[in-house]
Structure 1
Amino acid sequence: MSAPTRRMSIAAGLLVAGIQPASAHIVSSRLGDFYAGALHPLTDLQDLVLWFSLGVLAGSLGAGRGRWIMVVFPLGLLIGLLSAHAIGALSAGSALNAGMTLLVGLLLAAALRIPILLLCAMAFALAVIRGAANASDLAPETDRFLFAAGLGCIGYAAITLVMALTVAFRQAESPMVWRGIAIRALGGWIAAVGLMMAGLSLAS
């Protein structure tokens, strides 16, 4: 064995011998519970569908009306998280989540100009229920303040981003007729997803 090969073999052996278990789990870091609160809803299909459809509904009504849920929705998430023990069984009901998805999809498909108060009430109720649902995985050692901060931040960011994209899509320079039809068609698909979710929940 040549000298360079021998030196490379020794270096490789030292590297292998020095391997330590990786401590890369985010929960072990200082802000782990913040990231857990922010990422938990993004791993739940019900949250993804409901948050997305609510953001599209708010954006389809225009920036003036939709901006109110930028405050109402995160607030509802936090209240739901705090009151999870009181409404835990309600938030766990898949039929209720399916019904909310179906309702939002039908409102989009019908292109109804619902009042601001009704939109805020819907957003608040949906947020409270989903906030309570996200409390199901809280462990005794979880920092609830950081978890709630992460949940509220991701709720604000998700709703704002989807709503802003919907508003920008509707206000583009090309003719708006087909864009409105596209949003209504998307509402029909969301309603179909809600209907399938309701069927699965009743079947189980």
Structure 2
Amino acid sequence: MKLNCARLLMATAMLLAGASTAEAHIVAARLGDFYMGVVHPLTDLQDVVLWTATGVLAGTLGAAKGRWLIAVFPLGLLVGLSLGQVFSATSTQLSDAAMMLAIGLLLAAAAQVPTFMLCAIAFAVAVIRGAANGADLGPETDRLLFAAGLACVGYGAITLAMALTAVFTNSDGVASWRTIAVRALGGWIAAIGLMMASLVLAS
């Protein structure tokens, strides 16, 4: 059982570290630049893992802290999108791995993160992933429409992840096994981040 879990973690880390750049212009040709902004991050495993992890962390801390991310996360995506050409692919992957490790450890430890730190973490994740999405864009892409789509999907994804986590951890007034499940998820996220960092540094 432990061997199978280790193999699954290794395969996931390799997929994340070795994911090829998405051909964003193909999506744009079919759906338009706004819809490309919506769909593009959902086709990237690193976006899915990090956005979900950030939303789960916020959801475990309660609505009073998590509601700040509704504004902070889309804003961070827009800032990162404007910096898309600044970061190299390697630095982005290392940053992704570091954020996965940090958020995973916070979830595994059931840490009570202050609101300011939660917002800083969410903003950092959003900037990193916004930059990664911006780096994939071709010169023919309407960046304003893409940015609008990216901000909308960021708002929806982070809000949905927070809401589902809050409902899951507080259902029926019995949170013990649910809390353990969230902490186990954090351990998996941290392990993926650690292995992803190792693969990037080894390449």
After TM superposition, the score normalised by the length of structure 1 is 0.82
Number of aligned positions between the proteins? 178
How far apart, CA to CA, are the structure 1 residues paired with 2:65 and 2:132?
Answer: 27
Cα deviation code 1:27-53 (max 9, x no counterpart):
346x60011111111111111111010
Residue type matched to 1:157 in 2? G
Stretches of structure 1 that go unaligned for 5 or more consecutive residues are 1-24
Pairwise CA distance, 1:89: 2.6
Classify the secondary structure of the residue corresponding to 1:142: coil
Q: Which residue of 1 aligns with 2:133?
A: 134
Q: Which residue of 2 aligns with 1:162?
A: 161
Q: Which residue of 1 aligns with 2:84?
A: 84
Residue type matched to 2:191 in 1? A
Q: For residues 47-66 of structure 1, what are the structure 2 equivalents within 5 Å?
A: 47-66=47-66
Q: For residues 26-105 of structure 1, what are the structure 2 equivalents within 5 Å?
A: 27-28=28-29, 32-85=32-85, 87-89=86-88, 92-105=91-104
**Is 2:105 the partner of 1:121?**
no
Pairwise CA distance, 1:125: 1.2
Cα deviation code 1:81-121 (max 9, x no counterpart):
11223x32378431221111000000000001010000001
Classify the secondary structure of the residue corresponding to 2:112: coil
Classify the secondary structure of the residue corresponding to 1:88: coil
How far apart, CA to CA, are the structure 2 residues paired with 1:43 and 1:90?
Answer: 17
Q: Which residue of 1 aligns with 2:15?
A: none
Cα distance 1:69–1:90, how it changes in 2: closer, same or farther (>3 A)?
farther
Indicate the percent of aligned positions where both proteins have the same amino acid: 61
Q: Which residue of 2 aligns with 1:203?
A: 202
After TM superposition, the score normalised by the length of structure 2 is 0.83
Classify the secondary structure of the residue corresponding to 1:171: helix
Q: Is the 8 A contact 2:95 2:128 kept in 1?
A: no
Pairwise CA distance, 1:122: 0.9
Pairwise CA distance, 1:140: 1.3
Residue type matched to 2:87 in 1? G
Pairwise CA distance, 1:181: 1.0
Pairwise CA distance, 1:198: 1.1
CA RMSD of superposed structures (Å) = 1.6
Which structure is larger by alpha-carbon Rg, 1 or 2?
1
How far apart, CA to CA, are the structure 1 residues paired with 2:136 and 2:198?
Answer: 26
Cα distance 1:179–1:145, how it changes in 2: closer, same or farther (>3 A)?
same
Q: Which residue of 2 aligns with 1:188?
A: 187
Q: Is the 8 A contact 1:91 1:133 kept in 2?
A: no
